[in-house]
Amino acid sequence: MKVHDKEWFQKMNHEATWFTIMAARSIESNDGEVDGCTVCGDKPAKEYELPSKPSMPHVLLCDDCLQIQADIHEHHFKEIKP
């Protein structure tokens, strides 16, 4: 499954609905580009997993949103190395 593809949206909607809402908005505001941050659409964005929730699909996060996820939401994502 690729981040932000149709299957990703279906699975993520069951795991973390607000990520699907944010991703849809960021893709729409970036003229359909799907390689930006899942939360805000900024680039560059790296692929991450959430070890505390292994069933959740990977997300793309820019550095700012990664930090916000850790500081405010206490989500500690782990980068997926290509």
- Domain for residue 58, yes or no? yes
Its domain, for residue 50, covers 6-79
pLDDT tens for the chain, residues 1 to 82: 999 999 999 999 999 999 999 999 999 999 999 999 999 999 999 999 999 999 999 999 999 999 999 999 999 999 998 8
47: three-class secondary structure by DSSP: strand
From CA 22, how far away is CA 5, in angstroms rounded? Answer: 14
Structurally, the chain folds into a number of domains equal to 1
Cα 61 to Cα 48, 57, distances in angstroms: 7, 13
* Angle, vertex CA 54, rays to CA 21 and CA 50, nearest 5: 60
- Domain for residue 1, yes or no? no
From CA 15, how far away is CA 31, in angstroms rounded? Answer: 26
Cα 32 to Cα 7, 23, 24, 36, distances in angstroms: 16, 11, 9, 10
